[in-house]
């Protein structure tokens, strides 16, 4: 059997895993891998981003939109460290990404060589596993193991660092068929299932909370059937958007700091809260000691470490959400909670929309995007007010259509993620919604979209301030606006044109509608600069450290 180089082995292993697209940026130590990529460019599409962070976010967006493993590459030193924010973003939201970096040769390690960084050590706390490959015979098994770790159990990012001499060395390569990843069911115990079933049967005010785990496990159909069987209302976390159809009468909206009053008050009045694939984030539960004070808690999660971590539970089932819900659905007789469902309907009537949709503001722009796309787009966001407005005002009806940095809250995430999502789902309209503060962090990736003519739509809700931070400064810091006013003269329309995209400015709702219609048919990347007021706020809101049933709107003040 003939021998091939380590660089060729990297490519063969990617092909073996079904990888069709890689996002990255070349450099000295990874040159051999890029030379092999050149020879296989008809089999693996490489997208050259403007910055390595953009490559990591693109791999993340690709993974969230498709359910497949996203792949990014970078060279040693600053190339590798520029991936760190994107890797941490994927880790916090349990997104399967494999990051491949190269390092200096084995004999140069530990000598402060040019562009040498222990990247495997750097990312250890923010990956499921990190490897450094120092011998050619370890290369193929390590890459295969990295993909298995990334997508098995609770998914997450894995980093493989390869020394340059290994990319040049040669050895025999024996192809392997990737191991089938089985769903995690061995931890589902019959006694746990029976306890949960009994708690559901005696409950009269059950509430279901869906998290990102429902999307990761493709459990939407099972979740819908479960909600009908329990006869319960359903709320979601930010990461759970789209797991449950937002058009359903059972749906009450997002829960938490900027959740709906219906969800926050409903969960606080429930006698049973069933949490599926969520981790009880502080932004969801508010004051932990006052969360759902009248309810028993059931927690279903694939990761045993999450059980009782933030909120004490009365019952739990550890396992894949889809498999757990399948089992519960097969054993649970249909319940009837008409009085409770009627109470939830009354709560909805008592708490209508808090925003005005007849003039141009963030929520009105989001509503208009929903109308024009008929709810069929993939929405990516950056982080801040616009992110909350998007979560609140675009109705998500299916999973993998809302891509946002939830756990890490990464400003600058959206453009790269939108590019990755469009490569993964070219049939979908992909729209990134950002504030001006976020957009300027990674707007260089618009150049990437223009280079490859990736027709993403970038909507910049431009209020000339760091909106969410300013909101806190208004409400909790006595209007001391320290370093949150962006009163410069950056023109995003000119920036877009300078980067090779189409730029459109919108100052009224009619202008925005016209701009969106143009963007949706343009067939090229478009940036829409949307002028909104600097003091618009996200409502409702729960003050930090307060119970979620103390949520308030502007009228309450």
Helices (H) and strands (E) in the chain, counts: 23, 20
d(CA 159, CA 146): 7
SS3 content of the chain, % helix, strand, coil (to 5): 45, 20, 40
d(CA 304, CA 309): 9
Pair of tokens at residue 25: 């940026």
The SS3 assignment for 374 reads: coil
List of residues 6+ apart from 55 with CB closer than 8 A: 23, 24, 25, 47, 49, 72, 73, 74, 83, 86, 416
Give the active site residue among 15, 68, 115, 345: 115
Q: Sheet containing 206-210: which strands, arranged edge to edge? A: 251-254, 234-236, 206-210, 272-276, 296-301, 315-318
Give the active site residue among 39, 114, 172, 494: 114
Give the active site residue among 52, 222, 306, 445: 52
Question: Under a CB-based contact definition with an 8 Å cutoff, are residues 466 and 472 in contact?
Answer: no
Q: Sheet containing 526-531: which strands, arranged edge to edge? A: 402-403, 378-381, 430-435, 457-462, 526-531, 502-506
Q: Mapped to the 3 state alphabet, what secondary structure does 82-121 carry? A: CCHHHHHHHHHCCCCEEEEEEECCHHHCCCCCCCCCCHHH
List of residues 6+ apart from 373 with CB closer than 8 A: 429, 431, 520
Give the active site residue among 128, 151, 164, 367: 164
Question: Under a CB-based contact definition with an 8 Å cutoff, are residues 436 and 462 in contact?
Answer: yes
Catalytic residue at 92?
no
Q: Mapped to the 3 state alphabet, what secondary structure does 142-209 carry? A: HHHHHHHHHHCCCCCCEEEEEEHHHHHCEEECCCCCCCCCCCCCCCCCHHHHHHHHHHHHHCCCEEEE
Catalytic residue at 3?
no
CA dist 175 to 35, 44, 150, 165, Å? 21, 17, 20, 22
Give the active site residue among 239, 257, 468, 502: 468
Give the residue from 390, 382, 375 showing the smallest Cα distance to 416. Answer: 382
Pairing of strands 272-276, 206-210: parallel
- The kind and range of the H/E element at 269 are helix 261-269
Length, in residues, of the chain: 557
The SS3 assignment for 504 reads: strand
List of residues 6+ apart from 252 with CB closer than 8 A: 233, 234, 235, 260, 262, 263, 266, 344, 347, 348
d(CA 231, CA 213): 21
Give the residue from 486, 480, 479, 418 showing the smallest Cα distance to 454. Answer: 418
Give the residue from 222, 198, 204 showing the smallest Cα distance to 336. Answer: 204
CA dist 264 to 49, 209, 268, Å? 41, 11, 6
Catalytic residue at 115?
yes
Backbone angles phi, psi at 72, to 5 degrees: -130, 160
Question: Under a CB-based contact definition with an 8 Å cutoff, are residues 295 and 314 in contact?
Answer: no
DSSP 8-state code for residue 443: T
Residues identified as active-site: 52, 114-115, 164, 468
């Amino acid at each position: 059997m003939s021998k091939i180089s380590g660089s060729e082995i990297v490519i063969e292993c990617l092909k073996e895993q079904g990888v069709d697209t890689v996002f990255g940026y070349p450099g000295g130590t990874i040159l051999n891998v890029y030379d092999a990529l050149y020879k296989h460019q008809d089999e693996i599409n490489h997208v050259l981003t403007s910055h390595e962070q953009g490559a990591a976010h693109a791999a993340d967006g690709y993974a969230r939109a498709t359910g497949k493993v996203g792949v990014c590459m970078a060279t040693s030193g600053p190339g590798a460290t520029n991936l760190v924010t994107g890797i941490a973003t994927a880790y916090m939201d349990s997104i399967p990404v494999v990051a491949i970096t190269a390092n200096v040769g084995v004999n140069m390690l530990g000598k402060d060589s040019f562009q040498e960084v222990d990247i495997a050590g750097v990312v250890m706390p923010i990956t499921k596993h990190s490897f450094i490959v120092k011998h050619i015979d370890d290369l193929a098994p390590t890459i295969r193991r990295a993909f298995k770790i990334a997508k098995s159990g609770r998914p997450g990012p894995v980093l493989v660092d390869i020394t340059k001499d290994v990319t040049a060395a040669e050895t025999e390569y024996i192809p392997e068929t990737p191991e089938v990843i089985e769903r995690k069911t061995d931890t589902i115990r019959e006694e746990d299932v029976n306890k949960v079933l009994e708690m559901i049967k005696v409950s009269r005010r059950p509430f279901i909370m869906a998290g990102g785990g429902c999307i990761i496990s493709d459990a939407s159909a099972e979740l819908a059937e479960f909600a009908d069987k329990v006869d319960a209302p359903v709320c979601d976390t930010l990461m759970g958007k789209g797991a449950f159809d937002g058009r359903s009468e059972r749906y009450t909206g997002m829960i938490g700091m900027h959740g709906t009053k219906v969800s926050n008050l409903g969960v606080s009045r429930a006698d049973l809260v069933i949490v599926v694939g969520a981790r009880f984030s502080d932004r969801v539960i508010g004051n932990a000691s006052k969360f759902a004070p009248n309810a028993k808690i059931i927690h279903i999660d694939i990761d045993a470490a999450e059980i009782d971590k933030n909120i004490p539970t009365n019952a739990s089932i550890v396992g894949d959400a889809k498999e757990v819900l399948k089992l519960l659905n097969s054993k649970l007789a249909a319940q009837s909670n008409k009085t409770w469902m009627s109470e939830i309907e009354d709560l909805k009537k008592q708490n209508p929309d808090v925003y005005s949709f007849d003039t141009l503001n963030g929520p009105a722009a989001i509503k208009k995007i929903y109308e024009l796309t008929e709810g069929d787009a993939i929405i990516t966001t950056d982080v801040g007010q616009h992110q909350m407005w998007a979560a609140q005002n675009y109705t998500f009806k299916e999973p993998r259509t809302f891509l946002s940095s939830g756990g890490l809250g990464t400003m600058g995430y959206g453009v790269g993620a939108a590019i990755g999502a469009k490569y993964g789902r070219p049939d979908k309209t992909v729209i990134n919604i950002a504030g001006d503060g976020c957009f300027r962090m990674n707007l260089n990736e618009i150049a990437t979209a223009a280079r490859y003519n990736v027709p993403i739509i970038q909507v910049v809700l431009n209020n000339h301030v760091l909106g969410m931070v300013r909101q806190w400064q208004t409400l909790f810091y006595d209007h001391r606006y320290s370093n949150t006013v962006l009163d410069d003269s950056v023109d995003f329309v000119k920036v877009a044109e300078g980067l090779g995209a189409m730029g459109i400015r919108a100052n009224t709702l009619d202008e925005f509608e016209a701009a969106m219609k143009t963007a949706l048919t343009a067939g090229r990347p478009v940036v829409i600069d949307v002028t909104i007021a600097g003091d618009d706020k996200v409502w409702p809101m729960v003050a930090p450290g307060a119970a979620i049933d103390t949520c308030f709107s502007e009228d309450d003040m």
